[in-house]
Amino acid sequence: MKVREFMRRLRADGWIEVRRRGSHRVMRHPTKRGIVVVEDGSD
């Protein structure tokens, strides 16, 4: 799965990008526990 598709699915499920550091995006969900870190790689 490509990064774009993965990000699209996360956002559709309600995950929000809370910060970005370099090539890493940190996603958090308003009601679900934990975070998801997505590395922007070459698609």
pTM for this model (two decimals): 0.81
Question: Distance between CA 24 and CA 30 in Å, rounded?
Answer: 20
What is the 3 state secondary structure string of the chain?
CCHHHHHHHHHHCCCEEEEEECCEEEEECCCCCCEEEEECCCC
Residue 40, pLDDT score: 84
Per-residue pLDDT of the chain (43 residues; tens, 9 = 90+): 899 999 999 999 999 999 999 999 999 999 999 999 999 875 5
Please calculate the CA angle 32-38-43 and round it to the nearest 5 degrees: 135
Range of the domain at 14: 3-39
Q: Which long-range contacts (CB under 8 A, 24 or more apart) does 7-15 make?
A: 7/38, 10/36, 10/38
Q: Domain with 16 in it: what CATH number?
A: 3.30.920.30
Domain count, the chain: 1
